[in-house]
Amino acid sequence: MPYLFTSESVSEGHPDKVADQISDALIDNFLAWDTNSKVACETLVTTGQVVLAGEVKTNTYLDVQKITRDVIKRIGYTKSEYMFEANSCGILSAIHDQSADINQGVDRAAAAEDFESKANAQGAGDQGMMFGYATRETENYMPLALDLAHKILQEMSYIRNNEPSLIPYLRPDAKSQVTIEYSDDNVPQRIDTIVVSTQHDDFDSEEAMLAKIKDDVINIVIPRVKAKLTPELQKLFTGDITHHINPTGKFVIGGPHGDTGLTGRKIIVDTYGGKGAHGGGAFSGKDPSKVDRSAAYATRHIAKNLVAAGLCDEVLVQVSYAIGVAEPCGLYVNTYGTAKVADNDGAIAAKIGEIFDMRPYAIEQRLKLRNPMYSETAAYGHMGRKNEIVKKSFKGANGEEKEVEVELFTWEKLDFVDAIKAEFAL
């Protein structure tokens, strides 16, 4: 019997995402000036106020107020009527030194002299399990419902920032949700429901407001999203889609004024939209010694390369760690019965463990995670994004400036396809 599956996304102006972006901007600035920085930074945003808290071990000093205000300004909170505005909001910093008890199991690699010694010395920054997932149903190997939910909000953000006259009333905060109908054999058949709620300027008439927003989303935003998809996916946009556009009505009060935001509260939006699994650990605000982040990227890297190599159509990869210990406690693979090789999932996991070194230091090196690459991850998902090299500029607290060339989303590279094909004789 056909079934429905739903995923949601939130915009860069959603209060939780504002918090994520501030935390990751701090991570980038710490790493830009001291690549060995150890950081766990949490952010809270509410009406007219930002609170920064966390633990840091670093050799640099940052102007955290300026960094925070720059992020808020870039997102678009630049008007006093939003009740949360870049230049006027209060910023309280309660960031302090990292616990030596936590750091001792992670920093042992600093005294080691070669790769193998460092990889064995640097233990995981915490215990826990992390998951990576990939599927063949989209070109970027992401679940379709989440991919479409992201794309709808990215298109609205592009219009708000680059073509404001097209839909002039848009404000930064927004959410989307897409429901897909699947066949018994897990193939997308059609889009069943699209939900969009967007913050907006005030209208004279609520009835006129609702009609205008619904018309613009259905007749401007969604067709622009559809036009960028493959012909196969465009066919899923049938004439019987249910649209819920701003279903509660007026949405003028939004952002941190409408709802308090916290770092790490959108972990499903950040990953696979509910497909696969999640170990529970958030990403933003954490340096790569925290395996919540680095190992989640590493398992996505494995999963994507497995599907791209043709080993399976869908796969879930899990890795787990003990705090302070380099070697993983276990590596698990589930191909959901889609494997194209004779090996069972346990045998596949054993071979994958030989191809991919999952010790934390090895992950950091393989994926270049000690570079300031994290601000770009903090909205519209950490997975399924474009791998590219960019130049980023950073300004220190003393006025010193530096430009850094950074490779983004290294875990999205298909650089292990040949090794997987060779190992499994594909």
Query: Could you tell me which residues are beta bridge partners of residue 392?
Result: 404
- CA 12 centroid distance within chain: 11
Among residues 62, 73, 8, 14, the alpha carbon closest in space to that of 34 is found at 62
235: annotated binding-site residue?
no
User: 173 labelled as ligand-binding?
Assistant: yes
**Equal fold, 15-103 vs 128-136+264-424:** yes
Choose among 22, 34, 91, 93: nearest CA to 61.
34
Task: Please determine, for residue 103, whether its predicted confidence score (pLDDT) is greater than 80.
Answer: no
- Please check if 16 is assigned to a binding site: yes
Q: What is the pLDDT of residues 201-215, one digit of tens each?
A: 999 998 999 999 999
Q: What integer is the mean pLDDT of 294-310?
A: 98
For residues 293-308, give the mean pLDDT. 98
Tens digits of per-residue pLDDT, 313-359?
999 999 999 999 999 999 999 999 999 999 999 999 999 999 999 99
**Beta strands across the sheet bearing 38-46:** 90-97, 49-57, 38-46, 261-262
266 is in an annotated binding site: yes
Residue 136 pLDDT grade (very low, low, confident, very high; cuts 50, 70, 90): very high
Domain 15-103's class? alpha beta
Smallest CA-to-CA distance from 196 within 413, 350, 55, 11 is with 11
Give the CA-trace dihedral at 48, 376, 225, 250, to 10 degrees.
-10
Q: Establish whether 57 is an annotated binding residue.
A: no
Architecture field, domain 3-11+144-258: 2-Layer Sandwich (3.30)
| Mean of pLDDT over the chain | 95
Q: Map residue 174 onto helix, strand or coil.
A: strand
Consult the annotation and say whether 290 binds a ligand: yes
The response to whether 251 counts as a known ligand-binding position is: yes
141: left (phi over 0), alpha (psi -120 to 50) or beta: left
Is 199 flagged in the annotation as binding?
Answer: no
Task: With residue 380 as reference, give the H or E element that holds it.
Answer: none
The hierarchical CATH code for the domain 128-136+264-424 is 3.30.300.10
Question: Per the annotation, does 5 bind a ligand?
Answer: no
* pLDDT for the residue numbered 307: 98
Report the first-to-last Cα separation within the chain, whole angstroms. 33
Q: Could you state, in order of their start, the residue ranges of all structural domains in the chain?
A: 3-11+144-258, 15-103, 128-136+264-424
98 is in an annotated binding site: yes
Distance from C-alpha of 180 to C-alpha of 189, rounded to nearest angstrom = 7
Q: Is 265 annotated as a binding residue?
A: yes
